Amino acid sequence: MLYRMCMDILLTHTTALEVLRSARLRWRLERRERCDACVPNCVPSGEELRALIAQTPELAHTALPLEVLVTRDAPRSRTKLVCTHPSPAELPAGSAFEVAPGVRCVSPEHLPVVMASLLTDLELAFLLSELLGLYAIAPSLEKGMFQRWEPLTTPELILAHLDALGSERGTDRVRRALSSACVRSGSPQETRLSMRLGLARMRGGYGFDVLAMNDPVAVQRVRDAMRPGVRKPDILLRAPGAAGRGVAVEYDGGDHNSAEAHARDAERHTELIALGIDEHIVTAVQYHDLD
């Protein structure tokens, strides 16, 4: 069988995750730019790969080997520079994101599908929570993350992509994990806390009904002469046995330690209580104390 000469690569798996966490690409990713996947039927030569890496800033600090998709009948390759993964030759429209000329990355909707076979259900739910969240994990930064203005994708976009893939391997597991994933979580700590509160008891959670995360709630602002304002509770739960009432849960991380932060927290607490929403603060110490 003859294979065409190629320079293009389609990043996947952990390489794709590193790229989707790139601060350089955050604005394009948050605008949800997409392109067609164009799955190659070969990988570039070592010389061509080195050239692509050298001319693509997003790949300069990416761990090697680069993980890439190739068609299922393409030769497999695993070297110091590249590791291939088989893929259907035809993927739904918009299954990729263009990083640079010749370099594409699987989309946030497709990444969970290709990663599904390597992750537990809980790990897959955490991956989905980051893609659906308002943060990107960045170990090189002081806080280990940076904030996003908008999530990379939505549950609706992921479900539409799964429908377009049909019975492709991994789709059923992503659907199942999506039902447990957090939407609009503001940090990995918020994700873990929401999981602890919302997962069924048999899966290590408390089985509460998580209504929303970081969604706006209209309040009367204490500081501004009771003018209308908005608060965004980290986690909003339905109060058990109390129709119409909610419970707000706030994760008290390191950015709540200053006097100014304590003052803001007190104002938020008062404004939510005035609406009949009970607010509870959970510290890191309390989170790690299961009792």
Confidence (pLDDT) at 279: 92
| Residue 45 burial class via C-beta count within 10 angstroms: exposed 0-12, middle 13-18, buried 19 and up | middle
Q: Is 206 left (phi over 0), alpha (psi -120 to 50) or beta?
A: alpha
Q: What is the mean pLDDT of the chain?
A: 91
Beta carbons of 243 and 250 less than 8 angstroms apart: no
Strands 103-106 and 9-11: parallel
Confidence (pLDDT) at 17: 98
The token pair that represents 141 in the structure block: 């930064």
Residue among 92, 57, 86, 62 nearest 74 (CA): 86
**Angle value at C-alpha 113, between 112 and 115, nearest 5 degrees:** 60
Beta carbons of 71 and 86 less than 8 angstroms apart: yes
pLDDT grade, residue 265 (50/70/90)? Answer: confident
Residue among 74, 78, 75 nearest 64 (CA): 78
**Angle value at C-alpha 83, between 78 and 86, nearest 5 degrees:** 110
Give the lowest-confidence range in 20-34, 216-230, 236-250, 264-278.
Answer: 236-250
CA distance 91 to 131: 20
Give the lowest-confidence range in 4-13, 57-66, 162-171.
Answer: 4-13
Return the higher-pLDDT residue of 287 and 216. 216
Amino acid at 172: D
pLDDT grade, residue 4 (50/70/90)? Answer: very low
Strands 135-137 and 145-147: antiparallel
Residue among 44, 15, 41 nearest 115 (CA): 15
Give the lowest-confidence range in 27-36, 98-107, 185-194, 240-249.
Answer: 240-249
